[in-house]
Amino acid sequence: MEFKKKILCIGAGYVGGPTMAMIAYKCPHYKVTVVDINPTRITQWNSNDLPIYEPGLDEVVKAARGRNLFFSTDVENGIRESDIIFVSVNTPTKMFGAGAGMASDLQYWEKTARKILNCADSPKIIVEKSTLPVKTALAMERILTSNGNSNQFEVLSNPEFLAEGTAIKDLEHPDRVLIGSRETESGLKAREELAEMYANWVSRERIITSNIWSSELSKLVANAFLAQRISSINSISALCEKTEADISEVARAVGMDSRIGNRFLNASVGFGGSCFRKDILNLVYLCRHYGLNEVADYWESVITINEYQKERFVINMLNAMFNTLAGKKICLFGFAFKANTGDTRESPAIFITKKLLAEKAEVIITDPKALSNARVDLEGVSGKVSYSEDPHEATTGCDAIAVLTEWDIYQNLDFKKIYQSMAKPAFIFVGRNILDHKKLFEIGFNVYPIGKPGLTHF
Ligand code: NAD
Ligand code: UGA
């Protein structure tokens, strides 16, 4: 079959895999190839056991794979034969040298730029899909024009706004698709070419365009604003616990103001995930770089509150359980950073497990999708940790439960049976307000929710 365009994506991760699967699914006349330097990941993408769990992903991949969607480790050939190249490699926080712990580590991204330069033998549109510091496109352009390669490269910014757990829904019905370009004739032409691809399933009003720097910056700012809402509500949850106000009632009253809106106001044990922390640190680093220290401090406080919220959760457990956790068995309900994903990157559960182990507690972890990642995260950590798929089995003989991920299944457990199998007094610390606290209290639990008065039998 003759394809209208050939698309390549470098990086077959949480973004590259699902995003390209959706493009291939919606655009059968485009050939979409996803490449990665990690052969295990590619083998998994070509198998029935995909490397990531996302509701609906299996169906989309199955419909397109082998038809116009291909996964491969042949980066070089992929580059040669494509018209449009998405770069979706990881851009973690840099952990060494200048900017350690703050700046973006651009080494993976830079390697792809050099690879494209070395392998390309025809003009290409290069699309930044990874989240990058503003002005990265300039560096990309400089690399691509550095060795006299006469091919024309046009760099676009097309940040991804999907959230894990709802990736397929977000990709199929995005709030917006943002495409940034140089405002030159060739830049505008490339922008339109990409817009035309998305227009296969996204309405034109939702495909917005901007200059390339606004596009790069908008991605960092969108994540910063989202995280800021969580830190705002979490900071107020601490005040609620002191004043008998209820955070759910406050969030509802505040969120009904249409200027504020009601989404993303769920108080929690803290936000996790691979991006919020890293992207805010990156924003803070950029602001400091430009001498904007007050702006940097403002955004940094979003992270400070998040750390405080995780710390506070463990201190509350310690205080409630008579100031000692040594030898106590604590069961964690959920290890993923949010429901409907197996991803545990930056999950508050990692922090909390380590703190509980430092208190010499024994930790039993249950999660429907994240146990294999949890094992990797806790490798080499000293202390007693065990894992169980079954929440009923996991809680047997435990002193306390800590609910860390808002999986639906936790709402339908037989808490009476669980209570009976636990040591007494039995405690439940609810890091996600998804359970019926009154009912738990009536069963016999001492209940400690986030941002609400505790319900205890003492
Ligand atoms: P990831 O770690 O899951 O995937 C990145 C992949 O790139 C890995 O499989 C890695 O092997 C591959 N890779 C690295 N260097 C390579 C190279 N030189 N050649 C080929 N492959 C290479 O990361 P992710 O979660 O998919 O995130 C990718 C980017 O998207 C990041 O910048 C992130 O901030 C951004 N983002 C992530 C999300 C999300 O929900 N995870 C959402 C929006 C944006
Ligand atoms: C987030 C953004 O929502 C996406 O738009 C963005 O593309 C992505 O980051 C990214 O750049 O990586 P994600 O981290 O996958 O997506 O998931 P979110 O739904 O944003 O949740 C992040 C964290 O905040 C989770 O730990 C979640 O439990 C927590 N959260 C979320 C709350 O504690 N309260 C809320 O009200 C909402």
Catalytic residue among 9, 27, 240, 275: 275
Any ligand 1 atom below 6 A from CB of 44: no
Average confidence (pLDDT) over 127-155 = 90
Q: Which ligand has the minimum distance to the alpha carbon of residue 263?
A: 2
Average confidence (pLDDT) over 39-68 = 97
Q: Residue 47, class by beta-carbon neighbours within 10 Å (0-12 exposed, 13-18 middle, 19+ buried)?
A: exposed
- Residue pair 86/125 in contact (Cβ under 8 Å)? The answer is no
Q: Quick check: is 119 catalytic?
A: no
Q: CA 434 to CA 416: how far, in whole Å?
A: 17
pLDDT of 265 > 90? The answer is: yes
pLDDT digits (tens, 9 = 90+) for 382-409: 999 999 999 999 999 999 999 999 999 9
Spatial CA neighbour of 330 closest among 302, 300, 296, 353: 353
Cα dist from 261 to 170, 194, 253, whole Å: 19, 32, 10
pLDDT of 151 > 80? The answer is: no
Q: Whose CA is nearest to atom 17 of ligand 2?
A: 163
pLDDT digits (tens, 9 = 90+) for 211-237: 999 999 999 999 999 999 999 999 999
- Residue pair 13/90 in contact (Cβ under 8 Å)? The answer is yes
pLDDT at 1: 72
Q: Which ligand has the minimum distance to the alpha carbon of residue 72?
A: 1
DSSP string, 393-452: HHHTT-SEEEE-S--GGGGGS-HHHHHHHS-SS-EEEESB--S-HHHHHHHT-EEEESSS
pLDDT at 147: 81
Percent of the chain scored above 70 by pLDDT? 100
Mean pLDDT across the chain, nearest whole number? 97
pLDDT at 150: 73
pLDDT of 149 > 80? The answer is: no
Confidence of residue 72 (pLDDT cuts 50, 70, 90): very high
More confident position, 148 or 171: 171
pLDDT of 148 > 80? The answer is: no
Cα dist from 448 to 140, 261, 336, 423, 428, whole Å: 50, 27, 21, 17, 6
Any ligand 2 atom below 6 A from CB of 232: no
Confidence of residue 311 (pLDDT cuts 50, 70, 90): very high
